[in-house]
Amino acid sequence: MHALFVESLNEVIDFHTKRYVVSLYRIPNVIWLALYGVSMLSMAGVGYQFGWAGSRDIAISFCLALAFAIVMTLIADLDRVYEGTLRVSQQPMIDLDRKLSADVP
């Protein structure tokens, strides 16, 4: 009876550790700043090009800004594993853990 309790307790501790470690690995702030900087430079470059060419196409500007916003939103959503609308399945990691545990004598 004690062995079953200890095994269950160990599993709870292992799962808690896995969840905690996942929350530690986030995208660093430097990368976020670089991403925002590249987006702003790209938008400024497109605006400059439209101004230099003498023509302005609102549809292209809107689509480009929307594409950048969608990509940044997806990156931010994937960075938060247990929050947000996109959730990455942990099933491949669980299967690998089972397979590795089965190989241990």
Q: Say which DSSP state 22 is in.
A: H
Run means of pLDDT, 10 residues per run, the chain, 105 residues = 79 78 78 92 88 82 89 85 72 79 68
Looking at residue 18, what is its pLDDT? Answer: 76
Say how far apart CA 37 and CA 31 lie, in whole Å.
10
Looking at residue 82, what is its pLDDT? Answer: 67
Residue type, 29: N
Say if CB 57 and CB 65 are below 8 A apart.
no
Largest CA distance in the chain: 81
* Three-class SS state of 47: helix
